[in-house]
Structure 1
């Protein structure tokens, strides 16, 4: 794009500043496809970025520009609708590295720091590495906009000298907590729905442990007691 200071790469400086924290990519066209006004609207009003979710379309609209673009129409489409079902599909970032030379006492602290840094989940997997060394695969699931912050934690708190990442998606079911009553007290049960139907009912472990301690029974038996209470209440 040609500015007062000459030809500048796109996005233009003002547009790029407005898009900080927003995922961007190049279409390969040597034209300005996002203006500062458009960038401001997107950055100011969008609360998530990713592919179009499954939805029931209620309305759609198009706005056309004057410039002719090779191989594609110069139009902007807006679709308004309601998402369908109880599942939410969200963009996700997966970060991974293997470590075979770190004090194992540090892994717990690394997990805590990553959770504090915004990771959805962190898990460690035993792996066999070069020179027949046992190692640990560190996997971090996180929002896409937390990549730099989490990478800084991984490089700062572990001995790895490399990190890879790739975008992914996750389907998250609608969740609800219900309370059930047992002969030894109340307990919570987490329900998960898909397509309007309950497909999973999981007693909260801490509540099962509390009931087990109060009643002098095993946690396994307390878990079964809570499941029975939920099924009786459901019936």
Structure 2
């Protein structure tokens, strides 16, 4: 049986998931080809870079938004701890910052939960990829709806969060199925600590939507004052992982390291993925 183990010692985000899977041998050409089915190429481009995180050679994945090219330099600090919460422009996974951001002046390009479901369903992915992606999106949408006190069909994603999240979530679904994994397992999930600034004010870490998504998932204490796990990362784990444990007995085949944006003094900010065989 082929298993994939997420070793989330520094939390998890959507972009870290994609980069760790590709680093562990998933095919990024298949990812790029399949994502074209969404017909969103005019909105983004994908960027891959090799980075060293506290001595670990790891892969970094960025979704560069076309509409934001002009502030390219500070634009896409996209990783688990860099939600706009952290004062960065935005990140793959900050949907919860923007659940009602109609008020913030960006009236164009909002995507509702329903829009995203339609987009994914009409994209002609395999049934498994479609099903996995919708499960992950629904997990986020339901948590947002619950936190904000609104029904699922009223939940909206801010344009930036929507594009990033769609790519991260659909991309993760494509890669997981392409790898032919029989079972996904995971460590417990450190969420971070401290406070973050989001559109609605100053919030505790984990942000309410992240905590809601992780209901039923074991979370881990950490003294790092940062947001380690984003809603997208939380939803990926909540939907995909069937077992939570330390590294299981397995014959290790491939290992991948996916980099986050932030750098911490005491440990590498990476997500480690281990793929192998269990008899």
Tell me which interval the TM-score lies in, with the shorter structure as reference length: 0.3 to 0.5
Q: Relative contact order (C-alpha < 8 Å, sep 6+): which is higher?
A: 2
Between Structure 1 and Structure 2, which shows a larger proportion of strand residues?
1
Larger radius of gyration: 1
Q: Which has the higher helix share?
A: 2
Normalized against structure 2, the TM-score is what? 0.29
